[in-house]
Amino acid sequence: MDLGSGLGQFTRLIARTVGKEGHVVGIERDRDQILQAKSLADSSGESELVEFRKGDALELPLNGSEWGTFDVAHARFLLEHVPRPPLVIAQMVRSVRPGGRVFVSDDDHDNFRPWPEPRGFHALWQAYVHSYERLGNDPYVGRRLVSLLRDAGLTSIRNSCVFFGGCAGNERFQAVADNLIGALEGAKDAMLSEEFLDEESFYTGIDGLQQWKAHPSAALWYTVCCAEGTVPNQDN
């Protein structure tokens, strides 16, 4: 199961890996994301491999016989969007069979370092981080992943990180930079309405990032935190 499956790209990757022997369910609360995820799965010929269900990660839309049966519950970039991550982890633990695994990966916005530092970036990034905190969400949840899994009673916990950066000249760098700029632009109203930043500073920051993106030595250093744990067997 993949919680907060969004457009379903990662859910489909899991489904392709599991193959026809298994069953993969993506849970997403946003109807448009579900529709788009279904349509992407259809057009890739993967609709038999994956099922997308509308629902809330805080109250999983599972029927009685499904609880406690999944091999793996996975969530990427979901916990940073919920005010109380332990409630999501509790649902994940309940959904997985004894011996099954809970895997989470998420952001820690302190790990983020574009270089050479773009003009106006510091103020823009601080305002972005505050916009998470204003919603009651934790922009640094990545560093808490091991604690969250341990507090939920999981065992054999491991952690790692995935590089999500890049540098000028790399094939994926422009897409990574555009994704960053898009995320900041998407949060513009939240940043301005709370007066975390004025409009001029917002555009100075976005401009700075556009110039940085074109710099021949532009580099983005960013890692995403990952952790997994095992649901103990009842007799443990």
Binding site for ligand SAM (CB under 6 A): 4-6, 9-10, 27-30, 33, 56-58, 76-78, 81-82
Q: Report the residue closest to ligand SAM, judged by CB.
A: 6
Q: Where are the alpha helices (DSSP H) in 103-214?
A: 121-134, 145-151, 173-186, 188-193, 199-213
Residue 31 has, within 13 A of its CA and on its CB side, a CA count of: 0
Shortest Å, Cβ 55 to ligand SAM? 7
Residue 6: CB minimum distance to ligand SAM, A: 3
Tokens found for residue 15: 């489904």
Exposed/middle/buried for 31, CB within 10 Å: 0-12, 13-18, 19+?
exposed
- Rounded CA gap, 93 and 7, in Å? 24
Minimum CB separation of residue 80 from ligand SAM in Å reads: 8
* DSSP notation for 50-64: EEEEE-BTTB----T
C-beta closer to ligand SAM: residue 6 or 229: 6
Helix axis angle, 199-213 to 121-134, nearest 10° = 120
User: Closest CB to ligand SAM among 46 and 219?
Assistant: 46
CB nearer to ligand SAM: give 191 or 218.
Answer: 191
- Which structure tokens are listed for 194? 């709370």
CB of 200 to ligand SAM, least distance (A): 28
Residue 74 or 218: the one with the smaller Cβ distance to ligand SAM is 74
CB of 190 to ligand SAM, least distance (A): 15
Count of residues making up the chain: 236
**Nearer CB in complex with ligand SAM: 135/146:** 135
* Closer by beta carbon to ligand SAM, 30 or else 51: 30
Shortest separation between residue 13's beta carbon and ligand SAM, angstroms: 10
